[in-house]
Structure 1
Amino acid sequence: MSTQEFQNGELRDGFHFRGGHPALDLVATVTGRLKPAQRELLAGPDDLARWLVAAGFAGSPLAATPGDLERARALREAIHAIVDARLAGGEGTPADIDQINAAAAGTPAIPQIGEDGRVRLQGGASALLATLAGEAALLLGGDQASRIRRCEADGCAMLFLDTSRGGERRWCSMKRCGNKAKVAEFRKRRQGVGA
């Protein structure tokens, strides 16, 4: 796989995009959720601005404020809490739902067709976050909500939208976690044959 494919695929500007939906990719801006020490990838406003570009919400660099960063983190944690609760058989708390609804109630970015014929979102970080919150509300309150999964690989907490026909996808990425699991299973079977 070329560096260009990697940058346009699952890893862009240091952020993971394996969720199949921007709301789930936002949750991935905290790594190591299953470990004692987690890593915050949105450490400052500039990181949020970079993520918005890498996620495709902005076509060029933009400015983000500390307030934008705080709103992005609150939105991220509300999404995570609702998905986590649902995967455990429950529902999200009213506070988490209110957090997403409040963020989605902001003025969204304006879609515009660019000279290249592709849509671009026009607006600052606040508008882009309102658009992202709206997409999160549509995902979590829509038919696809039942297709949100957590990666089954040991130590991986990535969330993803299972768009497979049978709804039986197990890993956030076949290239990463799926391949590791298959190699481990192959080694296990091979050791069992020689024993």
Structure 2
Amino acid sequence: MKFAFVSGSVALDFVGTVQSRRDDPLDLLTAPADLADWTAAAGLLDAAAPATTADLAAAVHLREAIYRLVLASAGGSPLAAEDCAVLNRATTRVPVRQDLQPDGTVVRRGSIGAVLATLARDAVELLTQSPGQVKECAAPRCTRLYVDRSHRSSRRWCTMTRCGNRAKAATHRSRHPS
């Protein structure tokens, strides 16, 4: 299983664990082990924390609340109180612990609950500090959300190596038929 970390926000990368939401949704977090693997792949923990079925359910609940909140914010709509409550409950937990080592490295450790708290806090920061910068990829089948920090706020693709490249190749083929 390959996770992508191209959104510019760990909370949005977490939301991106559901691909192609409109057409044929593919959930990359279908088992507790998937969630554990994602936490390590995202760099939130140095080693995958054990996850339970209840952890997975809580993570999916938080992920979908973050998704709805970010879409509402990006669209200028009011935020749903229920989704805010889900986010706020997650922020009350202790986040991932980061210990600075004498060699300048950081050791990251915690439980799945700590990961969810860290994700919720990132989402709160995103919603309050960068709401106008969140966009959805312009590729027709991609539903990934990302933070557009480009100079002119003109970024259109979640990543140039995938969606942007495909779009440019399609444009080139349409202009230069074989």
Please indicate the TM-score interval, normalised by the length of the shorter structure. over 0.9
Query: For 1:9-158, what aligned pairs fall within 5 Å after superposition?
Result: 14-35=2-23, 37-114=24-101, 116-142=103-129, 144-158=130-144
AA of the residue aligned to 1:34: R
> Is residue 189 from structure 1 mapped to residue 175 from structure 2 by the alignment?
yes
Residue-pair matches, total: 178
Deviation at 1:106, TM superposition (A): 1.1
Q: Deviations over 1:138-162 (max 9, x none)?
A: 11122x1210110001111011111
Find runs of 4+ consecutive structure 1 residues off by over 3 angstroms: none
Q: Which runs of 5+ in 2 are unaligned?
A: none
AA of the residue aligned to 2:37: R
Residues 90, 116 of structure 2: 8 Å contact kept: yes
TM-score (norm 1): 0.85
Q: Deviations over 1:50-99 (max 9, x none)?
A: 00000000111321122221121111101110122233331321111111
Deviation at 1:168, TM superposition (A): 0.8
Let me know the Cα RMSD of the aligned residues: 1.7
Q: Deviations over 1:7-48 (max 9, x none)?
A: xxxxxx51121211100000111112011x322211111111
Equivalents in 1 of 2:31, 2:101: separation in Å?
A: 30
Equivalents in 2 of 1:43, 1:34: separation in Å?
A: 18
Give percent identity, aligned residues only. Answer: 39
Equivalents in 1 of 2:103, 2:40: separation in Å?
A: 17
Residues 45, 68 of structure 1: 8 Å contact kept: yes
Equivalents in 1 of 2:84, 2:14: separation in Å?
A: 16
TM-score (norm 2): 0.92
Q: Deviations over 1:119-172 (max 9, x none)?
A: 232211111211121111111122x12101100011110111111111110000
Equivalents in 2 of 1:133, 1:15: separation in Å?
A: 19
Residues 151, 157 of structure 1: 8 Å contact kept: yes
Structure number with greater CO (CA < 8 Å, separation at least 6) is 2
Q: 1:120 to 1:132 in 2, by over 3 A?
A: farther
Answer with 14-23 or 60-69: which moved more. 60-69
User: What's the secondary structure of 2:176's corresponding residue?
Assistant: helix
Residues 15, 54 of structure 1: 8 Å contact kept: yes
Q: Which runs of 5+ in 1 are unaligned?
A: 1-12
Residues 74, 131 of structure 2: 8 Å contact kept: no
